[in-house]
């Protein structure tokens, strides 16, 4: 999966039609929106990385000083600093072995054959309808191919895994920031439309429900690993809910009220 410093905004080639032009024409507005989308990409990268199977490199990336400062700056811009700080502190407090144990306990398939917490979108959005689940997964695969998201060889999960879908959103947000920087209004509009699909169709019905299940499964377990996943799930859910609510919960309202404007200049943890 993509690391915090490896997002590839150059790979935008979406053919999705836009319903509305979104980002304002003034240089000042565009610069602010570029920073906003870059901040969103940073937080989606951090949250997505947290749900990859833990290893020394992933933990080191999330706990490095520069990465921490970048995540906190991005979270401040989006009003999510408190949740981001709680997440980063929890990861820093947990050893890799703690994270591995918690990951296996929460997301691993036990002998009984049922996940304590199912990390796949289709479980939450299609239930037991196998045909619809396959269509939903195929839609995610199509989006990933469109935006050049290719899970690494070590990533052995389905493409509707929470880590993969959060990375997808990271890449789209990063490409949107790049399109704004270049003044490519056509790409900006396509990417805004694609974001609506990813957030409203896929993430909004998935990530908050996953976070609820993580909270329930981890309960009040004080172990460092479980505390890290509770914090990661909470941050991911708040980020998705913020983006979903910013455009009116997925309605057909004016896109100018979406993630381009919500959060810019807002104080920490207050929108």
The pLDDT tens digits for 76-117 are 999 999 999 999 999 999 999 999 999 999 998 776 778 899
pLDDT in tens, 181-235: 999 999 999 999 999 999 999 999 999 999 999 999 987 777 899 999 999 999 9
Q: Give domain status of residue 5, yes or no.
A: no
- Through-space distance between the first and last CA atoms of the chain, rounded to whole angstroms: 30
Q: Give domain status of residue 93, yes or no.
A: yes
**CATH classification at residue 91:** 1.10.3480.10
CA 145 to chain centre: 17
Alpha helices in the chain (DSSP H): 27-50, 56-63, 65-78, 81-93, 96-107, 121-125, 130-146, 162-182, 185-196, 207-218, 224-246
Q: What residues make up the domain containing 226?
A: 26-248
Q: Give domain status of residue 13, yes or no.
A: no
Give CA–CA dist 233/231, Å, rounded.
5
Q: What are residue 120's DSSP bridge partners?
A: 161
pLDDT in tens, 34-51: 999 999 999 999 999 999
Give CA–CA dist 47/63, Å, rounded.
13
Q: Give domain status of residue 261, yes or no.
A: no
Q: How many domains would you assign to the chain?
A: 1
Q: What is the dihedral of CA 145, 151, 156, 161, to 10 degrees?
A: -70
Ramachandran category for residue 265: left, alpha or beta (phi over 0 → left; psi -120 to 50 → alpha): left
- Read off the pTM: 0.83
Q: Give domain status of residue 21, yes or no.
A: no
Q: Give domain status of residue 91, yes or no.
A: yes
């Amino acid at each position: 999966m993509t690391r915090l410093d490896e997002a590839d905004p150059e790979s935008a080639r979406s053919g999705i039609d836009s319903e509305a032009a979104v980002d304002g024409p003034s240089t000042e507005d565009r610069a602010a929106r570029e920073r906003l989308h870059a901040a969103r990409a940073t937080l989606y990268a951090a949250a997505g990385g947290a749900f990859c199977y833990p290893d020394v490199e992933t933990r080191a990336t999330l706990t490095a000083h520069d990465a921490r400062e970048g995540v906190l700056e991005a979270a401040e811009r989006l009003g999510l600093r408190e949740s981001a700080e709680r997440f980063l502190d929890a990861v820093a407090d947990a050893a890799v072995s703690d994270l591995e144990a918690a990951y296996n306990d929460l997301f691993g398939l036990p002998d009984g054959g049922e996940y304590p917490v199912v990390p796949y979108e289709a479980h939450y959005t299609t239930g037991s309808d196998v045909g619809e689940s396959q269509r939903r997964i195929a839609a995610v695969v199509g989006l990933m191919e469109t935006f050049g998201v290719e899970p690494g060889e070590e990533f052995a999960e389905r493409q509707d895994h929470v880590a993969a879908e959060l990375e997808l959103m990271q890449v789209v947000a990063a490409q949107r920031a790049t399109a704004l920087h270049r003044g490519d209004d056509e790409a900006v509009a396509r990417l805004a439309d694609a974001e609506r699909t990813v957030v409203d169709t896929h993430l909004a019905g998935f990530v908050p429900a996953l976070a609820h299940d993580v909270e329930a499964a981890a309960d009040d377990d004080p172990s460092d690993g479980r505390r890290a996943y509770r914090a990661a799930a909470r941050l991911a859910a708040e980020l998705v809910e913020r983006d979903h609510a910013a455009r009116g919960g997925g309605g057909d309202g004016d896109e100018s009220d979406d993630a381009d404007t919500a959060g810019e200049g807002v104080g920490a943890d207050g929108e």
